[in-house]
Amino acid sequence: MFAVIKTGGKQYKVAAESQITVMSLEGEAGARVAFDEVLALFDGEASQIGAPLVAGASVVGEIVEQTRGPKVIAFKKRRRKNSKRKRGHKQDLTIVKIVEILTGDARPSTASETAPAAFETADLSGTAPMAVETADAPESAPVAGEAAHLAGTAPAATEASSAAAAPAEPLEASEHGE
């Protein structure tokens, strides 16, 4: 069985377990996306062609990776004018693996078939190595210095360190001539 779907202003012919590269979609790697704009369904001898869409049909995919396309260079030169311009561009792309094709208002299979994705957390102090946690593990509370760093403010200084940094009494003006 295969289907023709529309996403990002383009049409793609997809089958189960195939990978397609589409324009950038929201979501992290491992997230499921549903394509509801199914233009046609083909299942061996039976075929359904939508006018413009097939009613009740959808395609479920899983985001494999967020990536960028090859660099495209736009070079413009105006001869005999000493004028030229070179600009580069990389398109944001999403690689999607098609999980299943649904017909007749069928529900997608549960997401528990796939293992939870692991993600990395960085210690902002720079002294500890990165830790890998699973999505099911509770997130630990950040240390006071980390919380202040995340909030964009400096951590509160202790009284002893602030006293050492600033003199206790203001300096008197010198009596050298003024």
Q: What's the pLDDT tens digit per position in 60-69?
A: 999 999 999 9
How many independent structural domains does the chain possess? 2
Q: What's the pLDDT tens digit per position in 92-127?
A: 999 999 999 998 777 776 654 444 444 444 444 445
Q: Using CA atoms, how far apart are residues 18 and 43, in angstroms rounded to an integer? A: 16
**Owning domain of residue 131:** 118-155
Sign of the alpha-carbon torsion through 107, 26, 1, 36: positive
20 and 33 Cβ atoms separated by less than 8 Å: no
Q: Binning pLDDT at 50, 70 and 90, where does residue 150 land?
A: low
Q: Using CA atoms, how far apart are residues 34 and 63, in angstroms rounded to an integer? A: 11
19 and 95 Cβ atoms separated by less than 8 Å: yes
- Give the position of tokens 């001869």: 79
Q: Binning pLDDT at 50, 70 and 90, where does residue 16 land?
A: very high
DSSP lists the bridge partners of residue 46 as: 43
Count CA atoms within 13 Å of residue 55 on its CB side: 1
| Residue 96 within any structural domain of the chain | yes
Percentage above 70 pLDDT, the chain: 61
| Residue 92 within any structural domain of the chain | yes
The pTM for the full model equals: 0.57
| Residue 69 within any structural domain of the chain | yes
